[in-house]
Structure 1
Amino acid sequence: MSDILKPMYDLLKKNVQWNWTAACDRAFNKIKSVLSSSPVLAHYDPSLELILSVDSSAYGLGAVLTQRRADGAELPVSCASRTLNNAEANYSQIDKEALAIVFGVTKHHQYLYGTHFTLRSDHRLPVTAASRLQRYAVKLAAYDFSIEFVKSANNYFADALSRLPLELTKKQLRGEDEEGRYLHYAQASFPISYDIKTETGRDALLSKIYGFVMYGWPSNYAYDDVEKIYFNKKDHLHVDQGCLIWGYRIVVPNSLRSCIMKEIHEGHPGIVKMKQIARNYLRPTPPAAPLHSWPWPAEPWARLHIDFLGPFNNSYYLIIIDAHSKWIEAEKIKTTSANAVCDSLRRHFSRFGLPKRIVSDNGPPFSSAAFAQYLECNGIKHTLVPPYHPSSNGAAENAVRTIKRVLKKAELEKEDINRALSRFLFMYRNTEQSTTGREPAVALLGRRLRGQLDLLRPDTAERVRARQLTEEQRGSAPLRVAQQNKPVLVRNYSKTGNKWDEGVVQARTGPVTYNVATKDGHTHKRHIDQILARKSRHSLSRVMDSSPNKSTSACSRDMSEGGSDHDHDESFDSAEEEASAGPAPAPQPPPPTLLAPTVQRIDKPRREAAIRCCEKLKNRK
């Protein structure tokens, strides 16, 4: 088909002059026959999914009924189009789109009635509407369908038929607008006799908005602040008898507003009564349904509500709120595309994990195929709230409103916006939430976030460490260090052999632990208190000759504590001496006053045992 249409595609190229040639005419006729042939036009299959695509133009309606095969290809089952009559040509764009839906559904009633189908349109219809649209809704209520919104460029089947419609039949040409009008009801009780249609045409702003509603809103037009108000409500605006209607309400021209306010205020009924009178004439929306809250998830980060904030200073923010903990994340993003949203969510999921469900509105990023595929790959369910009903996603809407207030305040006070946002989020996450009764940080992370105010509280960990250092400083001798590959005596805990075995230090495994290899080929892990230096006979005699009390004390300590010897030797260095750059000072004997009580506390049998131990040490090499 692309090869057949090549002559016609060439006419759409840039800087190409339009020239309908004989080749274009042959391609046009051939493609019509191809489209109506069996390889393209399929027979109806009740087991396949039905898709009805509709569209409208300024003068025609188009509808295409297709079915999606197992391989994903869509084959047309039926095509329909017709021209708008004189009355229908004056409809607003919203009414024309609704008329196209009714036309497509009724035209294919025998296929659609009693089965579910997908209604594909490139225009969003308002939730609340008056007169004609309400009757359309009643007609469509008999059918089971879901709505899929697509871009106009992707709705080319129905769009082409709406721009090349079939001519009207004689019955259609004679037909007038059989639909009753909303203003037929409103005019019966309207308190002002002025012609609103005439004043709407004279109003410079409303006449421009009237043209936008009738013939489409331009995409490359720079709207001012007042026009943006109407642009944001464009999906809810339509025309009835030359008057602009917003939902159920008449848009009153500026020249008539003072007169209508004066009429409503007649008799000074008060603010409440005056609003009640105005609502009786200007028809508000239907009463809201009773509040239905989302169930509270039992675990944190299980259900997330997301929405966009912006544009704010030409930037957008993705707002995420956890339904369990009420923890809010606000991240500035460059675009609102589906890929940008997935990248932002991926960063948050790397910190907090994957949620079970995400709730969002029907914005293009959230309803895109790329976003749906990302959630499906990660096992996340997606809930889309009803279109044009933001209260269904109230958690996200409240979070957006809160963050927006922070940004506006920072902008007004000439403060850095990013800094102000970070400070607010920190404060919010550490503040008790009124709904849950807990801080969001505690509910999500299990602890409060440490802030500057925590400096006023004593730090328990630092206090414990200070107490430990004090106790360590009150200890006895400084830490000894054994040199690697030096011969030592190591404590033997086996039932056979000597109490101390000779060995060699292999490696230091910790501040006070070593691996020592003994002569029997085994390697033992010992504490520094379980290792002695192997001294020469000269050094031992020097220790014995220096002071009897000291020798006796050392021997007694050897008997009672396992023979620990803290005298300096070539195999040991204290931690202080190892860190010192200068030569180590000579060891000084302890004062006699400290040794005398030690000797006095030793009874006669222990004293004799200590003397025998010293004699053995004197004879040991």
Structure 2
Amino acid sequence: MVKPQYSFDGRSSISGLFHVWQFDYLGPFPVSENGNRYVLNFVEVLSGYPFAKAVSDTTAITAITCLKELCSLFGVPGKIISDCDKGFTSSYFRETCEKMGIKVEFIPAYQPEWVGFVEGWNRTCRYGITKSVESYRARVHSRTGKSPHYLLFGVEARLPIINKDDEILEGNVELRKAEIENSNRESRSSSIVPQFEVGSFVLVLNSKIRKGHIWDKKKPRYDGPYRIIKKLEKNVYLVINEFGKEKCRVLRGGRVRGRC
């Protein structure tokens, strides 16, 4: 077995492979023959290696069962990051993690970008779970320059080839080149994170409307105005309603926009 020759740029609190995992549920789906309605997804943060498990519910017992299965394959993680699902926030789950020496970290509400690895994997899963796991592990990722399978095992995955017809293979090569060219194009989305100063007046994204999805055009997209009274770390702000109708709120910069 060949030792992978790779390195990661930038500072990180992750000490190595399997140290940090992101958890999230996907579903509910139509009930399967085995009674499963959800998929519990795990993504190893350093390599991006995914692990998916079909489950029947989102209880703490189910989450612990899947966690123990994960530990039997990859060892006990140092930290897991998840949203505030009841299965993860229950005292039984947290006490079990404490006994196993696992630190549990919860993200703020309505902030899925804090677990971007597993949320990205969730989007991929919706197009076919079985095929997605195989292709996601074997595909070279632009972030690391290697496939998760290579980063984990030191060798590339051997994939089944159903048809070896030369014309089909040649067509696949052309599609792959087009995919690489498309992925190398400059992103249309802005990478500039807006910054706000203390005392600024801002508008806040309505908590009942998911970002980018407005179900009723008659409803206002933003509430406010709010005044920033304190700037916290990691682009998080403490705001208060200008008319004093609400208590102070802690919000991430992604949910705030400047008041025109």
TM-score by length of 1: 0.23
| Aligned mates of 2:13, 2:158 — CA distance in 1 | 27
1:148-227 correspondence to structure 2 within 5 Å: none
Question: Equivalent residue for 1:422?
Answer: 130
Letter in 2 for 1:371: F
SS in 1 for 2:26: strand
Q: Is the 8 A contact 2:124 2:132 kept in 1?
A: no
**CA separation of 1:327 and 1:294: change in aligned 2, threshold 3 A:** farther
Structure 2 partner of 1:447: 155
Summarize the Cα distance change of 1:423–1:401 in structure 2 as closer, same or farther, 3 Å threshold: closer
Amino acid at match of 1:386: P
The residue that corresponds to 1:222 in the other structure is none
* 1-structure distance, mates of 2:30, 2:82: 23
Whichever residue aligns with residue 329 of structure 1, its letter is F
- Choose between structure 1 and 2 for higher RCO, CA contacts under 8 A separated by at least 6 residues: 2
What residue is the counterpart of 2:19 in the other structure? 302
Residue type matched to 1:368 in 2? Answer: S
Deviation at 1:324, TM superposition (A): 0.8
Q: 2:68 aligns with which of 322, 337, 346?
A: 346
What is the number of equivalent residue pairs in this alignment?
Answer: 150
* Aligned equivalent of 1:360: 82
The unaligned stretches of length 5 or more in structure 2 are 1-9, 32-36, 165-260
How far is the alpha carbon of 1:431 from its aligned partner?
Answer: 1.2
User: What value does the CA root-mean-square deviation take over the aligned residues?
Assistant: 2.4
> By how many angstroms is 1:447 displaced?
2.1
User: CA–CA distance in 1 between the matches of 2:160 and 2:116?
Assistant: 33
Q: Is 1:300–1:443's contact at 8 Å kept on the other side of the alignment?
A: no
How far apart, CA to CA, are the structure 2 residues paired with 1:424 and 1:384? 26
Q: Residues 294 and 395 from structure 1, CA distance in 2 versus in 1: closer, same or farther, beyond 3 angstroms?
A: farther
Aligned counterpart, 2:97: 375
Q: 1:384 to 1:442 in 2, by over 3 A?
A: same
Q: 2:107: which partner in 1?
A: 385
Give the whole-Å Cα distance in 2 for the aligned partners of 1:294 and 1:428. Answer: 25
Tell me the distance in 1 between the aligned counterparts of 2:15 and 2:158: 26
CA distance in 2, matches of 1:440, 1:338: 29
Unpaired runs of 5+ in structure 1? 1-292, 408-420, 457-621
Provide the rounded CA distance (Å) in 2 between the counterparts of 1:393 and 1:451. 29
> Over alpha carbons, which structure has the higher Rg?
1
Q: Secondary structure at the match of 1:366?
A: helix
Secondary structure, counterpart of 2:14 in structure 1: coil
- Distance in structure 2 (CA, Å) of the matches to 1:355 and 1:446: 20
Whole-Å separation in 2 of the counterparts to 1:294 and 1:305: 19
Shift of 1:301: 1.1
| Structure 2 equivalent of residue 432 of structure 1 | 140
Q: Write the deviation string for residues 487-517 of structure 1: whole angstroms up to 9, x where unpaired.
A: xxxxxxxxxxxxxxxxxxxxxxxxxxxxxxx
Q: CA deviation at 1:342?
A: 0.6
